[in-house]
Amino acid sequence: MIKKKICMLGAFAVGKTSLVQRFVNSIFSEKYQTTIGVKIDQKLVQTGDTEVNLMLWDIHGEDNYQKVKPSYIMGASGYFVVVDVTREETLGVGLNLQKMANEMSKGAPFIVLINKTDLPQSEWYISETSINELKDKGLEIILTSAKEGTGVEEAFSRLTELMINK
Amino acid sequence: MLKDLPLKIVEYLVEEIPPYSGLLMIKVDNRGVVKNWKGNPKEYLGGKLTENESIEELVPALNGICPFDKGSVKLTKLQLKNKYCDIHVVKENGHYWIIFIDQTREVDSLKSLLQNMNEEQLKGRGNKTNSKEMPFRHLDKLNFATFLRKDDGSFSLQPNTPGWIKKHAFYNKASGSIDPISTFPFLEIFILEVEEFWKENKESYVVSETWSETFAGKDHYLRAYATNLNNSNYLFLKSFIREGVEEQNLLQAFRDSSLAFDKLAKTEKKLKELLVYKNKFNSIISHDLRAPIAAVLGVVNVLTTDEEEIGKLNEDYQELIYGIKDEMNRLLDYNNKLYHWANLELGNFKLEFETISLDEIIKIATETAREKCNEKNIALTINVEAGLKVRVDKTLFLQALNNLLSNAIKFTPISNSIKITAKKDDDKAFISVVDTGIGMNDDMVKNLFKESTNNTTQGTSGEKGTGLGLGIIKKIIEAHKFKITVKSVPGKGTVFTIEIPESNLA
């Protein structure tokens, strides 16, 4: 069985823990619970004939009080950069973390998850134009909602596929 | 407790003092005189704290350390009246924050550990074999699980195992063992760093970041440590549920505040956009209404000034025409104020300063007000110091004076008086509009310049207002960087004073 380490990166309160909990345990909680350090979960997935044990490193959110340590990313086969669609600044934080992760993981595949898309479009601060601009720059983007489960399975399957085929 | 602290101090707390435990923070000046505090002094110092007390008298341990300008100070595990504390001194904006960090619990746990070790040493004096074979045998009391790295690279869990690790599903009760690396995936990465450290054989230790695991129905916050002693390599795991939860709660509070602040900022931004939209709308509408109002007024003026024409109408119709004229004048005034208000709000104006004599500008303003004064038989007196010249935007400043005078007339009863004075005092000029009107109570004065049209009050002769007049005055005065103050006594009258700084005197 193949083991792959996936890191969840992003600003605080973007929904990293919720995405992992939705994927691993199919649950969602409205209550925001800040993550201290890193929490590791595992999930077995099947990709074609290959069984993969995903080690999900749910890393604390980045802000002025907690900076993500590069050592957390060491050994990662892939990672998600999670962004809150209602908080514009989380995109900048996410993209900065991506630069660091790219160096530490030696170019491991990653996907940008634009999360909380269940919220009304009137509250979206990341416009479709910005999303398309990111896509034009070659970033793979998936719109997700940990609350409703939208895009979550797809995101993890796609990243697993990218990691296996690398 | 934390919400009123300066950002630098909050950052210091988060960076330097995790995990969070009880705190007392005292702000002092550089001589150690108490200025302010957060937290419960009684809990730490055993008594009350008062402003201007000397911190050296309160905390003898700080004797000789004041003044603090020698640099930052950190004292550890000091026994105060009721607690053991670490004391940090942090400089912030010319003052010093003395932070007392409660370490009582840590000291208590260390005490029992030291007690055990000392007792053991006293009992087995001269026989050191045991301590050499099991050098870390007491660390379980601090919640550490100790692993010895064997030659084959595997890890053996040392005796005196803390309870928390025995509850893990991977713990083998029969053999009393657990493999830390396969049990805790976090260590797969940390161990690479540790192997490098062990190779260097330094007399030091390395510490991992915090991670959390859920087992036995509990969230455990864990940290790993590694060291070497007597050519043996040791790995330690420590679970700290309570401290982890406290640290989480502290961060949670900061982040919740930060999220709430973001929401407020977004709402404020939206509201500002709506306000701009509203002001633009008002500006356009009031601008476009000017022409039809002026057209109707023009016709009415023709009618009322042509005595022959108006004489053809009977008295009722004449009264109707004069009524229309009054109402149209009021509408025009209202509309003009709305137009000025909207443009002032939008910032659609640029001050064009010119030097003008105060005597002249006050004269123009009083000429406009004279007619209304006559209608109410109000005596208007002017007292302007000769030779005073100011640099103002004549149009806007005149509008402010007009509004002040209109306001005074509105609230001054028939046959009373209004005085307008201007004088220089201490390099500043002061223009005062003094009425002998109905006056205002303190609450009314406090809310006078608030931007609300709900605050309109009818004048002494039933005059209606827009509620915009004083707001316009305030905008104009602020745009000039002048000051306006109000003094009022109910039943006696009100004094509005505009203060013009030296820089605007010519």
Chain B residues near residue A61 by CB distance under 8 angstroms: 255
Kindly identify which residue of chain B lies nearest to residue A76, measuring between CA atoms: B189
Q: Report ipTM (2 d.p.).
A: 0.76
Average pLDDT for residues B126-134, to the nearest whole number? 51
From B164's Cα to the closest Cα of chain A, the distance in A is: 18
The pLDDT score that the predictor gives to residue B424 is: 93
pLDDT band, very low/low/confident/very high, at B71 (cuts 50, 70, 90) = low
B-interface mutation test, from A36, A40, A44, most B Cβ less than 10 A away: A36
Q: Is the CB of A38 less than 8 angstroms away from the CB of B256? A: no
Give the CA dihedral B192, B198, B202, B203, nearest 10 degrees.
110
User: Any idea what the CATH number is for the domain that residue A129 is in?
Assistant: 3.40.50.300
E strand or H helix that includes residue B310: helix B307-311
Average pLDDT for residues A144-155, to the nearest whole number? 96
Q: What is the pTM of this model?
A: 0.58
Kindly identify which residue of chain B lies nearest to residue A12, measuring between CA atoms: B255
pLDDT band, very low/low/confident/very high, at B129 (cuts 50, 70, 90) = very low
Average pLDDT for residues A47-71, to the nearest whole number? 87
CATH number of B135-239: 3.30.450
Neighbours of B206 (CB within 10 A): 16
The pLDDT score that the predictor gives to residue A141 is: 97
Q: Of the candidates A20, A15, A57, A56, which has an alpha carbon nearest to the alpha carbon of residue A153? A: A20
Instruction: Tell me: pLDDT of B209 over 60.
Output: yes
Average pLDDT for residues B287-304, to the nearest whole number? 90
Which chain B residues in 155-194 lie under 8 Å from chain A, judged by CB atoms? 184-186, 188-190, 192-193
The pLDDT score that the predictor gives to residue B126 is: 46
Q: Structural domain of residue A11, as residue ranges?
A: 2-165
Structure token digits, residue B363: 């004269």
Looking at A129-143, B201-215, B233-247, B303-317, which range is the least confident one?
B233-247
pLDDT tens-digit profile of B266-287? Answer: 889 889 888 888 888 888 888 8
Quote the CATH superfamily of domain B7-107. PAS domain (3.30.450.20)
**B254 and chain A in contact, CB less than 8 A:** yes
pLDDT band, very low/low/confident/very high, at B113 (cuts 50, 70, 90) = low
- Out of A13, A42, A75, closest to residue B189 by CB: A75
Average confidence score pLDDT of chain B: 84
The pLDDT score that the predictor gives to residue B57 is: 80
Pairing of strands B389-393, A50-59: unpaired
Number of domains in chain A: 1
Structure token digits, residue B88: 């940090």
The pLDDT score that the predictor gives to residue B133 is: 58
Chain B residues near residue A75 by CB distance under 8 angstroms: 188-189, 192
% of chain A residues with pLDDT over 90: 67
Phi-psi domain of B234 (left: phi exceeds 0; alpha: psi -120 through 50; beta: other): beta
pLDDT band, very low/low/confident/very high, at B298 (cuts 50, 70, 90) = very high
Chain B residues near residue A65 by CB distance under 8 angstroms: 11, 14-15, 251, 254-255
Q: Is CATH 3.90.1150.10 the right assignment for the domain spanning B353-504?
A: no
- Out of A55, A64, A87, closest to residue B262 by CB: A87
Instruction: Tell me: pLDDT of B168 over 80.
Output: yes
Kindly identify which residue of chain B lies nearest to residue A124, measuring between CA atoms: B266
From A33's Cα to the closest Cα of chain B, the distance in A is: 7
Using N-to-C axis directions, what is the helix angle for B315-346 and B469-479, rounded to 10°? 40
Reduce the DSSP state of residue B442 to 3 states and report it: helix
Instruction: Tell me: pLDDT of B222 over 70.
Output: yes
Instruction: Tell me: pLDDT of B456 over 70.
Output: no
Average pLDDT for residues B83-94, to the nearest whole number? 83
From B171's Cα to the closest Cα of chain A, the distance in A is: 19
Instruction: Tell me: pLDDT of B461 over 80.
Output: no
